[in-house]
Amino acid sequence: MSGAIEKVGVVGGGIMGTGIAEVCARSGLSVTLVEVNADAAVAAGERVEKSLRRAVSRSKISEGDATAALARLRYADDIGALEDRSVVVEAVVEARDAKLSVFSRLAEVVADEDAILASNTSSIPIVELATAAGSRADHVLGLHFFNPVPVLSLVEIIPSLLTAEDVVERTRAFATERLGKDPIVAPDRAGFTVNALLIPYLLAAIRMFEQGLASAEDIDKGMVEGCAHPMGPLALADLIGLDTVMGVAESLYSEHREQLFAPPPLLQRLVAANLLGRKSGRGLYSYE
């Protein structure tokens, strides 16, 4: 890879993917976001534009900066559109097979042999994604952002056993110098650093509510006003998405077999009913 990183690709146009694309475009980078079909690509573009307009209304950025960021974004429904990218961040659904397929394809289509192939996964082992990339395994690592991406400064950089050291250092420089983020290096284990601590806390709150030991409102108020947390655990679980919370919990439990990582029955039932939190209008709370 020669020179500074200027071209970034994002695979997946959900909340995290569009947030990553927005941050990159606001940082002056050319961004191509790939979705599964044309309709999804249009929806992703609308999501980014809505977020930028919200930032303007809150005086976080100027109208001119928002317009410039939008001009740096393009959308596609073919992963081949990422051929000329220097960094690609995968942000598709938190499902192992879907992510493995993306990395197998990226290894085929990204022309620059030194390109960084990163995953925003919350829980899937990076070494598995690296193996899917074949001969490019040493250029694969985790780059885990936090929601909302334009607001929160932390990112986790997760090298696997196969990741080259220079790829880690270039990713750190990209996160700090280009995106203005504040990275930590996390181990390639289920949950990495943040979710390995956060998920058991969220599950404990769900169990407390499920068992009728306290109301949802009192659980959240207790942690906000008693522990100075900006948001209570149940409201946070709804914000993250209960399907994502359960997916990370299942990965943690599968790897460690400790009961504190086991998804409570209430969480399993809510996910089965597609009551996923804010994004579906109802979860542990109702947003309708």
Give the residue numbers annotated as catalytic, written as ranges.
Answer: 122, 144, 156, 195
- In terms of Cα–Cα distance, which of 91, 103, 104 is closest to 35? 91
Identify whether the C-beta of residue 278 lies closer than 8 Å to the C-beta of residue 237.
no
Q: Is 224 exposed, middle or buried, given 0-12, 13-18 or 19+ CB atoms closer than 10 A?
A: middle
DSSP tag of 190: T
DSSP tag of 174: I
List, as one string, the DSSP characters of 151-162. T--EEEEEE-TT
ω before 265 within 30° of 0 (cis)? no
- What is the spatial distance between Cα 216 and Cα 144, in angstroms, rounded to a whole number? 29
For 96, the token pair is 């192992």
Q: Please report which residue ranges of 37-123 form alpha helices under DSSP H.
A: 38-57, 63-71, 96-109
Cα separation values, 16 from 20, 111, 137, 144, 266, Å: 6, 25, 24, 10, 25
Q: Say which amino acid occupies 192.
A: F
158 strand-pairing partners = 142
DSSP tag of 212: T
